[in-house]
């Protein structure tokens, strides 16, 4: 860092939008390192087919869904706020910070499962244009080569924010809103679907159902938090 930016950072520190403590400005100027570092890998018991917090998911014994789902950590208030600031305030620079936190874990998941193609939950195009970027894609391109990432689904209509809805409303809100671009893009491949926070699992499941129509070899999921 050159002298002037360093001096500016010391003279005019930023207040963290999470903990409200002041910190020197660097990279993005919304969240301090202490709050970002509160997101860490946490192992816990969940169904690796649907993501439910259970060690014995009877539904998936009968009807297995994802071949495996990777979950980086349990959700907490700080993480929820960080993701909300990143998405809703369009703080694009936070993509790099979040990517650095999950990078090692998701890379290991991709290698272990021999993933051929990484995709993500799409945004309705009007919303993506207003925001200026897809927040999930931005995290991924800070980890993987862009050629490994492809938007294989499109979102055909705008929907309400999932965080505002009940479990039943979430399921109805997303029913039949995703469409596969081309069957040939996923056929015979190991596909990874990436999302940020899983609450009921409705979003990932709807993406899974649509991608399955393209006859992939295996479908995996990966989320930052559950």
Annotated domain spans of the chain: 1-37, 40-225
Which of these, 221, 182, 181, 186, lies nearest to 205 by C-alpha position?
221
User: How high is the pLDDT of residue 163?
Assistant: 62
CATH architecture of the region 40-225: 3-Layer(aba) Sandwich (3.40)
User: How high is the pLDDT of residue 162?
Assistant: 65
User: How high is the pLDDT of residue 174?
Assistant: 85
- Percentage, residues of the chain above pLDDT 70: 92
Of 9-13, 89-93, 145-149, which one has max mean pLDDT? 145-149
Confidence category of residue 4, pLDDT binned at 50, 70, 90: very low
Q: What is the mean pLDDT of the segment spanning 41-67?
A: 96
Distance of CA 54 to the CA centre of its chain: 21
- The answer on pLDDT for 55 being more than 70 is yes
Which tokens sit at 11?
A: 């003279």
Distance of CA 168 to the CA centre of its chain: 22
């Amino acid at each position: 860092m050159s002298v002037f930016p360093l001096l500016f950072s010391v003279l005019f520190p930023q207040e963290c939008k999470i903990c409200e403590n002041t910190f020197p400005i660097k990279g993005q100027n919304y969240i301090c390192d202490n709050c970002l570092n509160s997101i860490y890998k946490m192992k816990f018991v969940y169904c690796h087919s649907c993501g439910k917090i259970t060690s014995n998911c009877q539904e998936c014994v009968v009807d297995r869904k994802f071949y495996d789902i990777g979950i980086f950590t349990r959700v907490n208030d700080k993480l929820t706020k960080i993701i909300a600031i990143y998405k809703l305030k369009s703080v694009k620079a936070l993509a790099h910070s979040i990517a650095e936190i999950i990078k090692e874990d998701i890379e290991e998941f991709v290698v272990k499962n021999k993933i051929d193609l990484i995709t993500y939950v799409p945004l309705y195009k009007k919303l993506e244009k207003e925001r200026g970027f897809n927040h999930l894609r931005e995290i991924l391109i800070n980890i993987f080569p862009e050629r490994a990432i492809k938007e294989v689904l499109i979102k055909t209509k705008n929907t309400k924010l999932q965080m505002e809805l009940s479990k039943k409303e979430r399921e109805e809100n997303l029913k039949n809103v995703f469409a596969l671009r081309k069957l040939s893009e996923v056929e015979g491949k190991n596909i990874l679907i990436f999302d940020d926070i899983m609450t009921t699992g409705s979003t990932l499941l709807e993406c899974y159902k649509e991608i399955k129509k393209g006859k992939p070899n295996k479908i995996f999921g990966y989320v930052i938090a559950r």
